[in-house]
Each structure stands twice: as C-alpha cells, then as structure tokens.
Amino acid sequence: MNELAPDINVLLVDDEIAFVETITKRLKKRHFIIQTAHSGMEAMEKLEENGNATEVVVLDVKMPGMDGIETLAEIKRKFPLKEVIMLTGHATVSSAIEGMKKGAFDYLLKPCEMSDLVSKVNRAAEKKREHEKRVVEARMQELMRTRAQ
C-alpha cells in the first residue's frame, strides 16, 4: 500500500503525550491530517465538533477515566461509520477480542511499526469510504423508487 496518504483524517487518542507527539509527527510526514486527544472524553468532544472530517480513530485501550473500550463503544454508537484501530501496550487477548466485538476495525500492539500503522489506517479509511459510498447508493436507489411511485 502507498506510504503517502493524502486527505486521510485521523484522530489519535492516547494519554501518553510523548507517544502522541511522536506518532503525530511521523504520520504528518506521510501526509495524514491529524487531530489528537488525550482521553476518551476529549476524543468524543473532538468527534462531536469535527465528526464528519475524521475518518479513522486510532485509540489506546488503556487510559484513565473513559478507557479505550468504553470510548470505542461510544464512537460506534454515535458515529457507526467511523473506523477505529485499537492500540495497546497491554496486550491481552481479551481486550483485543472485546474491541473487535464492539466494532474495532483492527488493533496494534504498542510499540508498533509505523508501516503497520500506516497500512491499517489506509485500509480502515478505504473501508469507511467504500461503506459510505454504498450508503449513498442505497439512499439514491430508495429516493428513485419513492419518486417512481
């Protein structure tokens, strides 16, 4: 997959500020558009403000307060087409399985290879765009049927 990803909007959510700053710099060099949040609550606020622009959320599982699993559930409830990639430095099979059951696109173990993160973000954005296209097509077909009656 192409390393350059123009126009993919990513919300990076992690309570480890140094990690967020490093990943943000590295993703921006690859032409991603990055927003950051340091908690689940802040992530939800950013999505409420800018929800349509954000395509992919990269979300840490282990955060104080509203953790990644709770945040994922809330994102999927309010923004079902958003794709979420879970990050965990606390690699437990149960948290990965729980995240996938709640609608995560995929997960990565921290520290992760930048090429793996870029690849997964690209694939997640592609899936979101394809899903949105199908939704629009279905709505257009429904509108055409309604008008034909």
Beta strands in the chain (DSSP E): 9-13, 33-37, 56-60, 83-88, 106-109
* Number of residues in the chain: 149
Q: Which of 30, 1, 25 is nearest to 12 (CA)?
A: 25
Q: Does CATH place domain 8-147 in 3.40.50.2300?
A: yes
DSSP secondary structure letter of residue 132: H
Per-residue pLDDT of the chain (149 residues; tens, 9 = 90+): 444 556 899 999 999 999 999 999 999 999 999 999 999 999 999 999 986 899 999 999 989 999 999 999 999 999 999 999 999 876 666 787 788 889 999 999 888 899 999 999 999 999 999 988 998 898 888 888 888 87
Instruction: Report whether 14 contacts 20 (CB < 8 A).
Output: yes
CA 13, CA 11: separation in Å to the nearest integer?
6
CA 30, CA 60: separation in Å to the nearest integer?
21
